[in-house]
Amino acid sequence: MSEEVSVNTYIGQEFGNYRLTRLIGRGGFAEVYLGEHIYLKTQAAIKILQTRLSDDEQERFYAEARTVAHLQHEYIVRVLEFGLKDGNIPYLVMEYAPDGTLRERFPRGNAMPLTHILPSFKQVAAALQYAHEQHLVHRDIKPENMLLGTHGEVLLSDFGIALMIKGSQRQDAQEVAGTVTYMAPEQLMGQPTQASDQYALGVVVYEWLCGQRLFTGSFTSIATQHMLAPPTSLKERNPDIPASVDRVVLKVLAKDPQQRFSSVQDFAHALEAAAQGDSNDGADATCSTAVRASTAYKTPVLTAPVQQQGYASSKSHVQSSARKLKIILPVVALLLVIGSILAFSLLHNNQPMKTNTPPDMYALYSNATRGEPQIQDSLRAEGPLAWQNGTANTCKFQDNTLHVANKGVALCNTAYTNLNDFAYQAEMTIIQGTNGGLIFRNELLPDPNGGVYYFTVTAQGQFSLSVRKITYIDGQFSSSPLKTLLQHQSTAIKTGLHQTNLLTVIARGSTIALYINKQFVGSAQDTTSLSGTIGLFSQGNAANQVLEVTFKNLQVWNL
**From 141-145, 170-174, 282-286, the region with the lowest mean pLDDT:** 170-174
Q: Is 224 exposed, middle or buried (0-12, 13-18, 19+ CB in 10 A)?
A: buried
pLDDT of residue 147: 94
pLDDT of residue 308: 36
List pLDDT tens digits, range 176-205.
Answer: 334 678 999 888 777 889 999 999 999 999
**From 125-134, 453-462, 534-543, the region with the lowest mean pLDDT:** 534-543
How crowded is the C-beta side of 331, counted as CA atoms within 13 Å?
A: 6
Q: List phi, psi (to 5°) of 555.
A: -140, 145
**375 residue type, one letter:** I
pLDDT band at 389 (very low <50, low <70, confident <90, very high): low
- Give whichever of 156-165, 397-406, 411-420 has the largest mean pLDDT: 397-406
pLDDT of residue 260: 97
Longest distance between any two alpha carbons in the chain, whole Å? 89
Q: What is the rounded CA–CA span in Å between residue 455 and residue 468?
A: 12
- Which domains are assigned to the chain? 3-94 (3.30.200.20), 102-314+323-338 (1.10.510.10), 359-558 (2.60.120.560)
Q: What is the rounded CA–CA span in Å between residue 248 and residue 273?
A: 10
pLDDT of residue 477: 55
Q: What SS3 class is residue 516?
A: strand
Mean pLDDT of the 529-550 span: 80
List pLDDT tens digits, range 462-499.
Answer: 999 999 887 755 555 566 778 999 999 999 999 999 99
Q: What is the rounded CA–CA span in Å between residue 103 and residue 2?
A: 31
pLDDT of residue 233: 94
Mean pLDDT of the 122-131 span: 96
Q: What is the rounded CA–CA span in Å between residue 258 and residue 276?
A: 26
Nearest residue to 505 (alpha-carbon basis) of 529, 481, 480, 483: 529
- Residue 2 clears pLDDT 90, i.e. is over it: no
Residues annotated within a binding site for ATP:
47
Mean pLDDT of the 127-137 span: 93
Mean pLDDT of the 271-300 span: 54
pLDDT of residue 416: 60
pLDDT of residue 20: 95
Q: CB–CB of 323/317 below 8 Å?
A: yes
pLDDT of residue 356: 43
Torsion-angle region of 310 (φ positive above 0: left; ψ -120 to 50: alpha; else: beta): left
Alpha-carbon dihedral 61, 66, 71, 76, rounded to 10 degrees: 40
What separation in angstroms does the CA of 65 have from each of 70, 79, 119, 167, 438? 9, 8, 29, 15, 48
Residues annotated within a binding site:
47
Mean pLDDT of the 236-251 span: 95
pLDDT of residue 173: 36
Q: What is the mean pLDDT of the chain?
A: 78
Residue 140 known to be catalytic: yes
Contacts of 89 (CB under 8 A, 6+ apart): 5, 48, 49, 51, 52
Mean pLDDT of the 452-462 span: 94
Alpha-carbon dihedral 200, 205, 206, 208, rounded to 10 degrees: 130
pLDDT band at 52 (very low <50, low <70, confident <90, very high): confident
Q: CB–CB of 137/193 below 8 Å?
A: yes
Per-residue DSSP letters for 6-60? PP---TT-EETTEEEEEEEEE-SSEEEEEEEETTT--EEEEEEESEE--HHHHHH
pTM of the predicted structure, to 2 decimals:
0.55
List pLDDT tens digits, range 96-110.
Answer: 998 889 988 998 888
- Residue 313 clears pLDDT 50, i.e. is over it: no
Which is more confident, 119 or 67?
Answer: 119
Question: Which one of 55, 56, 140, 399 is the catalytic residue?
Answer: 140
- Residue 337 clears pLDDT 60, i.e. is over it: no
Q: What is the rounded CA–CA span in Å between residue 4 and residue 21?
A: 24
Tell me the percentage of the chain whose pLDDT exceeds 70: 73
pLDDT of residue 268: 97
**From 155-159, 229-233, 314-318, 354-358, the region with the lowest mean pLDDT:** 314-318
pLDDT band at 363 (very low <50, low <70, confident <90, very high): low
pLDDT of residue 408: 65
Q: What is the rounded CA–CA span in Å between residue 184 and residue 203?
A: 9
- Residue 307 clears pLDDT 50, i.e. is over it: no
